[in-house]
Amino acid sequence: MSDSPLRIVPSKPAPRPTIEDTEAQATPPEAEGSVGEMEELRRLLLEPEQLQLGNILERLNNPRVRAREMSRPLPEAIRLRNAQDDALSEALSPTIVKAFHASIKKDPRPVAEAISPLMGPAIRRAISVALSSMVQSFDQALKYSLSWQGVKWRWEAVTTGKSFAEVVLRHTLLFRVEQVFLIHKQTGLLLQHVTADPTITQDADIVSGMLTAIQVTIGNFARDSFGSGEIEQIDTLDMGEREVWFESGQHAVLAVVVKGEAPESLRTDYFAPALETIHTAQRDDFNAFKGNPAPFEDSRPILEECLQSQYQGRVKTANFKVPLYLRVLFALAILAFGALTFFAVRSQWRWHNYLNRLKTEPGIVVTETGLQWNKRFIAGLRDPLAANPDTILSEETPINPAGVVSRWEPYQALDAKLVLARAKKILDPPAGVELKFNRGTLSAVGTASHDWISETQRAARLLPGVTAFDDQNLADEDLKEPEELRQRIQQRVIRFVMGGAQIAPGQTQDLQTLMTDVQRLFAIAPAAGRNVRLEIIGHTDTEGDELSNQRLSQQRAAKLFSMLLSTQLNPSSLVPVGVGSAQPVRAETTDADKQFNRSVSFKVSLLDPRQIKSQERR
């Protein structure tokens, strides 16, 4: 710091000792007297300066004092320097950025708190813009879909082959900024491109170059034609439906493709400010640009702000206005027509359903339908046992029966359901019998009286549609007791004494029961339509020769035969036979078996006279 105010310049030119030098100098002992005087003289001469010097040293060496003093002119100095040029901002910029990063890294909250008042409204605004544009487009779509205008445009869309949205756009669009190109001024290279319609697929790089080329061409033309020294800057290219607006800055050109009649204020409100903002924010990127457009991605939101559009709030309508009463009449007519159509269609639909219902109903054949004096008319065939069409009409359909004229001719239907119904009606089966009908065969299952069975066997075949009657599973309730008696009699064995035709003692009760059973059987069999045939079979044991056994067995049979005859039975129904030892009652192994084989057993046949007759006929 050779030029600093620390150095004191003495009045004599040389030697030039400094204060520090003087203070640091050792004093020789031999000169003490004169030194004291010199000191005194110096003090007297230099005291005010020394005091000042002390003050200055104090100010310079004490950092707090220096800081306090520097703080006074600092704001003014910054102001002056900023007014002069941007050097201070540029110098401070990296430090501020660094400090900002460091601060956020350390604790992002203060920064977040500081910018939150700005972010809130910005986000709200973005959302509200998005929402309102959505509501607007929805509103427009709805409005034009439902209006007469909408119908016309839809027709236009159909006839011209354009989409409905396109037609609506064409009629309602005042203007729309379709694309924005940010073009490097010197090279014509595309820095950034935004579009309102993401379907636009033209290569923006090439378009950017061509837009620049056209600008140069027209600029040259203007200079050649009108003699201007500088190349003219093109503002607007008119391309019929579209215009390209150019906004030129120091480093870049904004080329904005506008459809429709856009207000000139867009330039001052959007395009010029956008270009200025980009220039300010990306000055370094412009300066360093060597063909890489990546840094200009940051300018995208700014360019997107330029994608403005405006639609007609109201659609122009023809001056001719239809009077209100005519409109009301027209509306009423439409309403009436609609109502009539509705009722007609509904009535037709219901009638159709009724006819279909009748078609599925067995025993009903519709042969003719139509309209007769404003009434519906239906004619056909109906089995008396089929469902009643009038009941179906009134109970199953909402059709007013008063509006329907029906004429049904009776006939016998051969539908299984009706054949069965008819059989039930005619045959009147008793409670224990169930009738079934399947493929021409009428079956009866259960128990019935002999008379009913006989009658049914005869009558069933006469029923229309019945080709066979199956009574396999039908039991004759009148045969029940004869059957029981038959089995009891057949189980009975009357034993005889060895070698003789006398009944062995101790069988009085058995004989009595036998007589009673036989008499009862003969008495009730005719009621069940059966004739009784009782075979009285005489047996012997195997003792003795077969000839005498044969004879003995016949005698035994004859014994019982004569006993039964005494009960007034028809002799022709009793058949005594002797079988000797040929058909033993039991296999003969013990004496007890032999005892049983010296006996008479019975075989009862309940004969159906009709079967006998048919067998006889054969």
The contact mask relative to other proteins for 218-257 (x = CB under 8 A, - = no) is -xx----------x--------------------------
CB of 297 to other proteins, least distance (A): 12
Measured from the CB atom, the residue of 287 and 374 that comes closer to other proteins is 287
Nearer to other proteins, 290 or 439 (CB): 290
Q: Which of 216, 281, 332, 592 binds other proteins (CB under 8 A)?
A: 216
Q: Is the bond into 15 cis (omega within 30 degrees of 0)?
A: yes
Q: Could you tell me which residues come within 8 angstroms of residue 552 by beta carbon, excluding any fewer than 6 positions away?
A: 499, 500, 501, 538, 540, 578, 580
Q: By CB under 8 A, is residue 23 in contact with other proteins? A: no
291 touches other proteins (CB under 8 A): yes
Which range touches other proteins (CB under 8 A), out of 49-57, 78-86, 217-225, 487-495? 217-225
Of the residues 177, 207, 419, 525, which one makes contact with other proteins according to CB under 8 A: 207
From candidates 180, 182, 190, 303, binder to other proteins by CB under 8 A? 190
Q: Of 354, 406, 345, whose CA–CA distance to 381 is shortest?
A: 406
Choosing from 249, 273, 293, 446, the residue that interacts with other proteins (CB under 8 A) is 293
E strands, 451-528, are 468-470, 474-476, 493-495
For other proteins (CB under 8 A), the number of binding residues is: 25
Between 163 and 292, name the residue whose CB sits nearer to other proteins. Answer: 292
Rg from Cα positions in the chain: 67
Nearer to other proteins, 28 or 291 (CB): 291
Question: Could you give the CA distance from residue 193 to residue 296 in angstroms, rounded to a whole number?
Answer: 10
Residue with tokens 């009449």: 329
The Cα 435–Cα 445 span in angstroms is 7
Contacting residue, 217, 348, 438, 502, with other proteins by CB under 8 A: 217
Site string for other proteins, 502-541 (x = CB under 8 A): ----------------------------------------
DSSP letters along 258-274, please? EEE---THHIIIIIHHH
Beta bridge partners of 468: 441
- Which of 157, 214, 379, 392 touches other proteins (CB under 8 A)? 214
Question: Can you count the helices (H) and strands (E) in the chain?
Answer: 22, 17
Distance set, CA 86 to CA 78, 92, 96 (Å)? 11, 10, 15
**Between 253 and 501, CB nearer to other proteins:** 253
Query: Using CB under 8 A, which of 109, 290, 439, 617 touches other proteins?
Result: 290
Please pick, from the candidates 32, 76, 203, 395, the single residue that binds other proteins as defined by CB under 8 A. 203
The smaller minimum CB distance to other proteins, of residues 219 and 362, is found at 219
**513 CA to centre of own chain:** 84
Asked whether the beta carbons of 206 and 336 are under 8 A apart, the reply is no
Determine the interface stretch with other proteins among 25-33, 169-177, 181-189, 373-381 (rule: CB under 8 A). Answer: 181-189
Strand 468-470 to strand 441-448: parallel, antiparallel, or no bridges (unpaired)?
parallel
What SS3 string covers 555-612?
HHHHHHHHHHHCCCCCHHHEEEEECCCCCCCCCCCCHHHHHHHCEEEEEEEEECHHHH
* Structure-derived torsion over alpha carbons of residues 184, 186, 188, 189, reported in degrees to the nearest 10: -50
From 205-213, 358-366, 420-428, 532-540, give the range in contact with other proteins by CB under 8 A.
Answer: 205-213
Least separation in angstroms between CB 281 and other proteins: 21
Q: Pick the closer one to other proteins by CB: 234 or 536.
A: 234
* Nearer of residues 184 and 422 to other proteins, judged by Cβ: 184
Which residue ranges make up the site for other proteins (CB under 8 A)?
184, 186-190, 202-203, 205-210, 213-214, 216-217, 219-220, 231, 290-293
